[in-house]
Amino acid sequence: MNIIFRNKRIYIYTTIIITIIVIILFILRSIFIDLSIKSTDELNYAQQYLYNGMFYKALNKNKKNNYLGLLEISSKYPFTKSGNLAKFYAGICYYKLGNYNECIKIMKKFNVNDEIISSLKYGIIGDSFFQKNDFNNALYSYIKASNVKKNEITTPLYYYKIGLLYFYQKKYKKSKYYFKKIECKYPIFLYIENVEKYIAFIENKLQ
């Protein structure tokens, strides 16, 4: 009898705990949906400044205006897609404004599953290092950008940047290796004519 009573109590307590958990999850889900909607609206507003080249206003770093800038959106809604995407846009703004350290810093905090955007993320980080004349880190970032997933858009672009970086460092064999990869695998690359010119120059140089 005691065993039956004990089991009944365990069943009741378990049911109560599960019910509480379900209620909490429902409340959290409602809050998250509400935050997602708000963050999306805020991001859409800030994006308009970004698209129009008004990078200071898009960031709204000093909070002088009556709207959330990209920085505040990312900090106020850290667990939403819009809050995360705001970091990526903020990184672009910092790059355009020539603040390469901040660009690198915030881009590294941006989490992304999309392979193309992930490639662009590392590419922008590479561009920032390049602008700082930190060619080793730029090269590392470009290689990472090119290896996220092979595709017709970003892969040849970053192979091209790697090739150029090696070329300017007079590491012609390494430069030719990447230019050749573009020529063989991505013949419709936008700058394919430049690639062919660099290859011809390097081949003459190495003779």
pLDDT the model gives residue 177: 96
Nearest to 71 by CA among 54, 53, 85, 51: 85
Q: What pTM was estimated for this model as a whole?
A: 0.79
For each of the domains in the chain, give its residue range(s) and CATH number, in order of start. Answer: 1-110 (no CATH), 112-207 (1.25.40.10)
39 burial (CB, 10 Å; 0-12 / 13-18 / 19+) is buried
pLDDT computed for residue 22 by the predictor: 38
Which residue in this structure is represented by tokens 């941006």? 110
Q: pLDDT of the chain along its 207 residues, tens only?
A: 444 444 445 444 444 444 344 333 333 343 334 445 566 777 777 888 888 888 888 898 766 666 788 888 888 877 778 888 889 889 999 999 999 999 999 999 988 788 888 898 999 999 999 999 999 999 999 999 999 888 888 899 999 999 999 999 999 999 999 999 999 999 998 899 999 999 999 998 887
What's the pLDDT score for residue 36?
52
